[in-house]
Structure 1
């Protein structure tokens, strides 16, 4: 099989010329592979990460393939940096057609950010929540918002008290909880966009268990060594496979008009019952705005639903 993610996603023939895409966490792993593929398909790509050298390398590779790209540095644990990223996107583009909320990770150490929120939850959920809501009026008609979640959300239930401290911290449990928040956020965003009459879709996805993504570097040894070894095992999801999931969500014609869904295996999946709880989604949406100190986007949608 062709190793290119766009071929694996069945979108190699999709013309992205004239479109604008932002891929967060795109200096490594599946985000990088997806950004490169979008560039090959003709999109102008905003590359995001924390390492300027790595970002410059991705931009160079996109430009070498005939595409156009810029890099914006931002630490997702820093609220001001995320605000600056949104501002840079507004400056660099006249609108967005694709927003891929891919940045995140599993972090072994328990600590709080400046907002007093557990680090994993902040980076994986609060940062993309703020970035997306800051760019809502910059999304073009038919734009797609894609949020990288994980099957790891299963077994977790929303507990907003647990994100205010790091007592008995578990990196795996914190990651599972944050990924649940990703699914809830994407679904609630879809509902509120529809209520507001916006022709923009929002979906979350499970990219697969990907050794090459680098997530295991935050775990204690010998887990990272074992995960790295899995890269060579047939049947384990590759970076190209994971990037294909992002591309399927971002530009497959099969998903035209599809919103509020959880995607897996390049198809429609079913998340956990906790991830389909509308009251939990509304609580998460309101809490996120409150802790970030911003006005709740689309509050009329909550009022009409009785939330």
Structure 2
């Protein structure tokens, strides 16, 4: 497929003028392409990443297409920096209409973060959980939350004990488990928003396996070079294709009333049975709040 993400999603006529969007992990790959697409649709975009120079370059691109953009740096391994990101967004915007939880990584070596959990789980799940929790009351009615997951979630089951150790560390298990957490998080968020009568949607997305996304830099040995070479092969999923997958639940009129679903190929798709386990989703929600030492977000009312 070729074309802009908004064209690939069929949303070129959608007007996002006046809307505020935050796209995490938007200094490269599908996040960058999604941020630029939202800018072309008229949204004001908060760009996030770790590299200030690269982030400011994305802001310059937004300016060139007539969009308003700002860059806010934050390392997702740092609880304090994620909290600072949320506070800056709250200060610099009068509300959010689109939150795309896209930042993430796959790490070759396992180590524990300051929270006492494995780094992949922290970066890919706990940080977007914390960021979303800190912005919940800043989301406007009708806002949409989109979380980048992956088909890699299939084949794993929730194991909150294992994320507290790196003794049996496997980079691919850690990544797959974090992507399962992304699906469970997005689904539980949708459920709690619904029972709280908040008119906000929450969905997760499999953006596809994308050689040009830059994600292969986390892989071992010669694999990054081999993966980058695939980007020139006809028919391989492009960065624009992946960004289009994010745009579909973020702005498409066809998904305005859909919440709690997992999307792939711009279609609601059933995730694994483990990702549809409501008890696991609730346990993950409570575990995440406990590890982060925050009040449980959107605590449902007692019956």
TM-score range, shorter chain: over 0.9
Kept after mapping to 1: 8 A contact 2:249/2:256: no
Correspondence for 1:29: 29
Asked if 1:189 is matched to 2:185, the reply is: no
Deviations 1:75-120, CA, capped at 9 Å, x for gaps: 0000000000000000110000000000001111101110011000
- Find the aligned partners of 1:279 and 1:268 in 2 and give their Cα distance: 22
How far off its partner does 1:212 sit?
Answer: 1.1
Asked if 1:166 is matched to 2:166, the reply is: yes
How far off its partner does 1:2 sit?
Answer: 5.0
Kept after mapping to 1: 8 A contact 2:249/2:255: yes
Q: How many pairs align?
A: 303
Deviations 1:148-177, CA, capped at 9 Å, x for gaps: 000000000000001001012111110000
Correspondence for 1:293: 293
How far off its partner does 1:226 sit?
Answer: 1.3
Correspondence for 1:39: 39
- Find the aligned partners of 1:293 and 1:138 in 2 and give their Cα distance: 21
Deviations 1:45-70, CA, capped at 9 Å, x for gaps: 00000000000000000010000000
Deviations 1:197-247, CA, capped at 9 Å, x for gaps: 000000001000011111111111121111111101112110000000011
Kept after mapping to 1: 8 A contact 2:2/2:240: no
- Find the aligned partners of 1:216 and 1:162 in 2 and give their Cα distance: 25
- Find the aligned partners of 1:104 and 1:154 in 2 and give their Cα distance: 18
- Find the aligned partners of 1:86 and 1:117 in 2 and give their Cα distance: 22
Correspondence for 2:234: 234
Q: Give the ranges of 4+ consecutive aligned residues of structure 1 lying more than 6 Å apart after TM superposition.
A: none
- Find the aligned partners of 1:242 and 1:108 in 2 and give their Cα distance: 23
- Find the aligned partners of 2:122 and 2:205 in 1 and give their Cα distance: 19
Deviations 1:256-285, CA, capped at 9 Å, x for gaps: 110000001011111000000000000000
- Find the aligned partners of 1:300 and 1:130 in 2 and give their Cα distance: 18
SS at 2:70 equivalent: strand
- Find the aligned partners of 2:276 and 2:107 in 1 and give their Cα distance: 26
SS at 1:234 equivalent: coil
TM-score of the aligned structures, taking structure 2 as reference length: 0.99
Correspondence for 2:53: 53
- Find the aligned partners of 1:218 and 1:16 in 2 and give their Cα distance: 34
SS at 1:135 equivalent: helix
Structure 1 unaligned residues grouped into runs of 5+: none
TM-score of the aligned structures, taking structure 1 as reference length: 0.97
Q: Report 1:150-299 matches (<5 A).
A: 150-299=150-299
- Find the aligned partners of 2:56 and 2:256 in 1 and give their Cα distance: 32
Structure 2 unaligned residues grouped into runs of 5+: none
Correspondence for 1:141: 141
Correspondence for 2:103: 103
